[in-house]
Amino acid sequence: MSAKNTKSGLYIFNMVIQFFFETFIAMVIGYFLGQWLDKLFFNEQVILTYVFIIIGIFAGLRNFIVRALKYGKEEENEK
pLDDT digits (tens, 9 = 90+) for 44-77: 888 999 999 999 999 999 998 998 888 888 766 7
Q: Is the dihedral of CA 8, 6, 14, 20 positive or negative?
A: positive
Label residues 41-72 b or e (16+ Cβ within 10 Å = b): eeeeeeebbeebbebbeebbeebbeebeeeee
What pLDDT is recorded for position 76? 67
pTM for the predicted model, two decimal places:
0.77
Given a cut of 70, is residue 34 above it in pLDDT?
A: yes
